Amino acid sequence: MKSKLVVMKFGGTSVGDASCIARAAQIAASAAGENSVLVVVSAMSSVTNRLIEAATLAESGESAKAQEILKAIRHLHEATLRELALDAETRIQLMSHIDRVLADAKRLCEGTALLRELTPRSLDVISSLGERLSAPIVAAMIAALGTASEPVEATELIVTDGFFGGAEPLMDPTRQRCEARLRPLLQKGNVPVVTGFIGASQEGALTTLGRGGSDYSATILSAALLADEAIIWTDVNGVLSADPRLVPEARTIPEISYREAAELAYFGAKVLHPKTLRAVMPHEIPVWIRNSFAPQEAGTKITAKGRSKAGGVKAITAIGDVSLIALGGPAIVGLPDVVGRTFSTTARVRANVLLISQSSSQNDICFIVASADAKRTVEALREQFSQDLAHHKVEHISLDPRIAIVAVVGENMRGTVGMAGRTFSALGRESVNIIAIAQGSSESNISFVVELHDMRKAVVALHGEFSLGAVEVNHAERSSHL
């Protein structure tokens, strides 16, 4: 028995072409020298997008265009295989697997075109095909390096509810299947390569965990097998203290807590699928974010406790593609149901509300939604409050798209007096005008709204104020594979 069980997930860019696949296989094979290794893979980058595009074209009857896309996907995989150092027989076997999967895709698209209907269930089947193409290739490359490896379809392992397009795992049956199917392979020193993103309902219908869901696949499998750690191999050096396009001095954060990582996943630093950490939190399994293009970098370790840092601030995040909606007028003080009606309206139009702020004078209530949701939200609110607007109980419902949310994130800010003071003094010095403020009672983030043209200035000022660009001595240990 090897000492540890490590689950490694390789994202789309980490298996994006032949040289990336070779590098990923090398990382997995060399880790397998020391530990038991389970690999989870995404589709090659852009393949899932293209499959969804093919499905949508088929739905609108554009069969020929859909078939063109499938041909391009075949070509990509064929060209990749040609470049990989595999023997002729393996290559032929893989190519016939690819042709079988794409024949399924062709049939599914034809059926969709015929019916002019794309159900969430068939969309899941079509969008899952990219992982079914990539996993056997990665397994073959690991085997070519002399480490036994075999592809396993996650439909055999991850049991989910029947919510197509965003299924949730059922952990008990998942655990049983993983023990039965994966444990014996791992005990033999085999490196199973599992298709990310996919599961199957109890009735056996294929489901997906939502876009970007193979991170979640990796942590679901880590929890099911009680792995010692999970490593998400991606194309950045870990979780950064700010978006490097805004702040060139941004640095990799050595260690953060589950909670901080979840705040960051939500607020812009899109390195992790937001649900990823849910699966491992009860078991306190550490999750690393590492760069498969620079495996010498230590990356970021995400743990239950994180690591405290003076002042507690870990990162500054910003999102610009959001809009502010305000509803106001002195008379809304007397309307006790305004808040309720406002948010039942946003719920009805499925607008995702990112931040809410209401002053205690109750003259005004404002909230932020993704810009894509803004127009329909305002229209629905105007309809909901049409009587009140007519009688001037509500004076205005306004929309401002030229704003941004900036957030200061760090779990140990909790109970540290003066963090808000430092935040707003730093912004004041830079003459950044603050439109609205929200601090959740969790105190692991202070969020505020600024004008879009001040977003960069705000992030740079706060990154400097909390010295997030300073070189930190990296006390965090390294993940099992360096």
| Residues of the shown chain interacting with Mg ion in the complex, contacts defined by CB under 5 A | 12, 212
Residue number, 276 or 357, with CB nearest to ligand ASP: 276
Choosing from 28, 31, 39, 43, the residue that interacts with ligand ASP (CB under 6 A) is: 43
When asked if residue 21 is in the footprint of ligand ASP (CB under 6 A), the reply is no
Sorted by sequence, the CB contacts under 8 Å of residue 213 that are 6+ apart come out as 196, 197, 273, 275
When asked if residue 328 is in the footprint of ligand ASP (CB under 6 A), the reply is no
What residue 312 binds from ligand ASP, Mg ion, none (CB within 5 to 8 A, per partner kind)? none
Residue number, 16 or 212, with CB nearest to Mg ion: 212
Residue number, 192 or 306, with CB nearest to ligand ASP: 192
Choosing from 42, 67, 300, 303, the residue that interacts with ligand ASP (CB under 6 A) is: 42
Sign of the Cα pseudo-torsion (78, 82, 86, 92, in order): positive
Choosing from 16, 136, 151, 196, the residue that interacts with ligand ASP (CB under 6 A) is: 196
Residue number, 80 or 147, with CB nearest to ligand ASP: 80
Sorted by sequence, the CB contacts under 8 Å of residue 194 that are 6+ apart come out as 38, 39, 40, 41, 135, 151, 152, 153, 154, 157, 182, 217, 221
Single out the residue of 139, 120, 284, 292 nearest to residue 211, CA to CA: 120
When asked if residue 197 is in the footprint of ligand ASP (CB under 6 A), the reply is yes
When asked if residue 274 is in the footprint of ligand ASP (CB under 6 A), the reply is no
Contact pattern from residue 84 through residue 123 relative to ligand ASP, giving x for each residue in contact according to CB under 6 A and a dash for the rest:
----------------------------------------
When asked if residue 15 is in the footprint of ligand ASP (CB under 6 A), the reply is no
When asked if residue 195 is in the footprint of ligand ASP (CB under 6 A), the reply is no
* Alpha carbons 331 and 173: distance in angstroms, whole number: 55
Angle at 324 between CA 323 and CA 327, to 5 degrees: 145
Smallest distance from the beta carbon of 366 to ligand ASP, in angstroms?
Answer: 33
Residue number, 151 or 212, with CB nearest to Mg ion: 212
When asked if residue 292 is in the footprint of ligand ASP (CB under 6 A), the reply is no
What residue 213 binds from Mg ion, ligand ASP, none (CB within 5 to 8 A, per partner kind)? ligand ASP
* Alpha carbons 465 and 274: distance in angstroms, whole number: 28
When asked if residue 213 is in the footprint of ligand ASP (CB under 6 A), the reply is yes
When asked if residue 212 is in the footprint of ligand ASP (CB under 6 A), the reply is yes
When asked if residue 169 is in the footprint of ligand ASP (CB under 6 A), the reply is no
* Alpha carbons 264 and 239: distance in angstroms, whole number: 8
When asked if residue 444 is in the footprint of ligand ASP (CB under 6 A), the reply is no
Choosing from 149, 214, 300, 358, the residue that interacts with ligand ASP (CB under 6 A) is: 214
What residue 48 binds from Mg ion, ligand ASP, none (CB within 5 to 8 A, per partner kind)? ligand ASP
What residue 196 binds from ligand ASP, Mg ion, none (CB within 5 to 8 A, per partner kind)? ligand ASP
Smallest distance from the beta carbon of 127 to ligand ASP, in angstroms?
Answer: 7
Smallest distance from the beta carbon of 28 to ligand ASP, in angstroms?
Answer: 17
What residue 108 binds from Mg ion, ligand ASP, none (CB within 5 to 8 A, per partner kind)? none
Smallest distance from the beta carbon of 150 to ligand ASP, in angstroms?
Answer: 21
| Stretch of 23-31, 41-49, 159-167, 175-183 lying at the interface with ligand ASP (CB under 6 A) | 41-49
Residue number, 214 or 445, with CB nearest to ligand ASP: 214
Smallest distance from the beta carbon of 183 to ligand ASP, in angstroms?
Answer: 25
When asked if residue 199 is in the footprint of ligand ASP (CB under 6 A), the reply is no
* Alpha carbons 127 and 386: distance in angstroms, whole number: 42
| Stretch of 27-35, 207-215, 294-302, 319-327 lying at the interface with ligand ASP (CB under 6 A) | 207-215
* Alpha carbons 342 and 325: distance in angstroms, whole number: 11
The residue at minimum Cβ distance from Mg ion is 12
How many residues sit in the footprint of ligand ASP (CB under 6 A)? 12
Q: Which residues contact ligand ASP (rule: CB under 6 A)?
A: 11-12, 42-43, 48, 130, 196-197, 211-214
